Structure 1
Amino acid sequence: MQVEEMQEPDIPVTILTGFLGAGKTTLLNRILTEDHKHRIAIIENEFGPENIDNELIVQSDKEQIVSMNNGCVCCTIRGDLSRVLTDLRHKRDRGEIAFDYVVIETTGVANPGPVAQTFFMDDAVAPYFRLDGVVTVVDAKHGSATLDAEAPARDQVGFADRILLSKCDLVTEEEASALEARLRQMNARAPIRRVDMGKCPVEEVLDISGFNMNDVLDVDPTFFNEGHHHHHDDDIHSFVFDTDRAFDPMKLERYFMSLTSVYGEDLLRYKGVLNLQGSPNRVVVQGVHMLAVSDVLGPWGDRKPTSRLVFIGRNLPEEAIRRGLQTCLV
């Protein structure tokens, strides 16, 4: 697989998502009022000509609130987000505003995928802004019913680098545990935290390094223990491919091109550490939909060369993908 050297952008960005009523605004107020070292620029998106949530957000001298009312973030925001981020950066360069972090709060019915892709595909954004992670808020009280009924809510879970479970005080321990088990089957990568949105530590949201190109695959160990016994017929699920055999680089690259061309829209997130034939180094690859990036890590050293790939997607043909990956092994 081809590997490109990338200059590290200097402005980290968190995408904050979650279905309507999950507690994003409460969490955002927490971030804006807590005494932390960040100067945060907030970018919001909501439906309609008037931004109702803007009145709920605490105004602070340290933060710049940028409201966008252009409709659903997943279908119309691409150009506007690029423009707003570029405008913020230019104002910062001119000394008109000061910020060192950006939080994008998406509308409650948004799929965060296109927003995430902006930080890889947009030439006006990618060199300056670094996507730190996608944080998804799930309501413990209504979360299971929402996941049953709303496809965007399932997408939000699939894209998450971290899941924050809110309103746990309104449910029993058994109900909360059952929801956690369901979320783990949908997304094995994302750690789950039970939090009170009004008291959530900022470090649970910012600087989580969810999109870092490193070899840490945050697969919940209980994912393997629970197996694949689904209590719900979710279209979003995750699976892990492990092998001690090396991949043929050319075969794997051709397979990934084919895989993303056919299933790209349904491949929400995927990440892996690869053992490539002929290479003494670990290679990490991760992608969002049809866009994948890769980088070379250090040598294997004393570690046994192995490969692990995690896929999270919508109605993916797991066994067919496993067979396809098998054909790429040496």
Structure 2
Amino acid sequence: MDYQEKLPLHVLSGFLGSGKTTLLKGWLAQQNLNEVALLVNEFGEVGIDHHLLNEVAPDTVLLPSGCVCCQIRGELKTALLDLFERRTRGLLPPFKQVILETTGLADPSPILSTLLHDRQLQHHFIQGTLVTLVDAEHARMQADVQPEWLAQVSAADKLLISKSDRINPSQQTLLADWLGQLNPLAQLSDTRTALNDPHSLFLLPLRSGSRQQRFRWLGACANDGYRLAPTTHSVSHPVTQTCVITLHQSLNWPAFAIWLSMLLHCHGRTVLRMKGILRVSDSSTPIVIHGVQHTLHPPVHLHDWPGELESSKLVFILRGLEADRLQQAFSRYLRAFEEP
């Protein structure tokens, strides 16, 4: 099955109480429900959210008790394959996308790993957009005491601020700046804006978006002056760093792939997120790569360069690994493998 026929699996993440179900209800009310399949994962013995969502999406599937990021990844696979089989047999409408609402305690990276490394799932599904909700009122406190919060925020393709009416405008600005430093790769918005433009909530700009949308896929770092040296942002609670590497020469793709695989193998827990658009020596068009912790997604070939970007750009979000150290490792790789 080629890319155009595969079904995107979008993930809606966010810590407990961030408003995932409320957002999903509002979004579903504006959709053709024959085109959406919904999976809900709740932590605990009794599910509540799927009953609320059944009001607008009667075919909502509740995953078995437990956290989808750890003990029930097998059930996630079973549920997805069951949905696809029922769709094929005509027992469900021919939906075009699957939405997974995770429990507020889930780390998204194992979910993505399940989809990327399982051959059966790869045949029918592709990774969609990972949207994380951030509770404006409680974000700082959750960042201090809940390690899952950072995993959800750093893995996101889109960050949506919820309950922004509970903080004043100056606090909203500070929160947006802080989130932009924690994950400069993510598109930042709020839930109200998302519901006003429901088509864009789970949009896949990497392949199907416009040139400018694919340019913005790199996040705030896409406009970072194309510097050769890394830029570092340190924030407290928790501490992360952003390393931006820009390279004007073409990369040796096989050698670079080995270097990157070794980096993630050794430092996957400290490389929270990475994205890149690369000019490689054996291709006239750019290659896009991205990953979450140890999980590296298959590279994607674009038909053209997005926006005004024409140089290779790599962006890493780090925790526990100094940006200077990563830059030095990349420089050693260049000296060892790349032509002058």
Give yes or no for TM over 0.5: yes
Deviations 1:24-79 (A, max 9, x none): 0101111222254763211111112210222322424x652110133122112321
TM norm structure 2: 0.84
Cα distance in structure 2, aligned partners of 1:179 and 1:208: 26
Deviations 1:293-325 (A, max 9, x none): 21333477xx88521011124323321111111
Matches within 5 A, 1:1-330: 7-36=3-32, 39-60=35-56, 63-98=58-93, 99-196=95-192, 199=195, 201-209=197-205, 216=215, 217-220=217-220, 224=224, 228-277=232-281, 279-292=283-296, 293-298=298-303, 306-329=311-334, 330=338
1:254 to 1:6, Cα distance in 2 relative to 1, 3 A: farther
8 Å CA contact 2:26, 2:195 repeated in 1: yes
User: Which segment is superposed worse, 251-260 or 86-95?
Assistant: 251-260
Are 1:166 and 1:197, in contact at CA under 8 Å, matched by a contact in 2?
no
1:151-186 deviations in whole A, cap 9, x for unaligned? Answer: 111110101000111111111111111111111111
Contact 2:241–2:323 under 8 Å retained in 1: no
Q: Is the 8 A contact 1:39 1:100 kept in 2?
A: yes
Query: What's the secondary structure of 2:103's corresponding residue?
Result: coil
Residues 27 and 200 of structure 1 are in contact (CA less than 8 Å); yes or no, is this contact kept in structure 2? Answer: no
- Contact 1:11-1:130 at 8 Å conserved across structures: yes
1:132·1:206 contact (CA, 8 Å) conserved in 2?
yes
TM-score (norm 1): 0.87
Corresponding residue for 2:228? none
Distance 1:210 1:174 in 2: 33
The number of aligned residues is: 323
- Give me the identity figure in percent: 29
Q: Which amino acid aligns with 2:84?
A: R
Could you say if the C-alpha distance between residues 28 and 266 of structure 1 is closer, same or farther in structure 2, counting changes exceeding 3 Å? Answer: same
Q: Which has the higher contact order (CA 8 A, sep 6+)?
A: 1
Q: What SS does structure 2 have at the residue aligned with 1:203? A: helix
Query: What is the CA–CA distance in structure 2 between the aligned matches of 1:7 and 1:204, rounded to whole Å?
Result: 20
Which residue identity lines up with residue 137 of structure 1 in the other structure? Answer: L
Compared with structure 1, are the counterparts of its residues 316 and 203 closer, same or farther at alpha carbon in structure 2 (3 Å cutoff)? farther
Q: Read off the aligned partner of 2:265 and give its amino acid letter.
A: S
Q: Cα distance 1:204–1:282, how it changes in 2: closer, same or farther (>3 A)?
A: closer
- Does the 8 A contact of 1:133 with 1:210 survive in 2? no
Any unmatched runs of 5+ in structure 2?
226-230
Equivalent position amino acid for 2:139 in 1: G
Check 1:6–1:275 CA distance in 2 against 1; reply closer, same or farther (3 A cut): farther
CA distance in 1, matches of 2:148, 2:73: 18
Residue pair 1:111, 1:155 contacting (<8 A) in 2 also: yes
**CA offset digits 1:99-130 (Å, max 9, x no partner):** 22211000001101111122211111112112
Q: Which has the higher helix share?
A: 2
Q: Residues 212 and 315 from structure 1, CA distance in 2 versus in 1: closer, same or farther, beyond 3 angstroms?
A: farther
Given that 1:41 and 1:103 are in contact with CA atoms closer than 8 Å, whether structure 2 keeps it comes out as yes
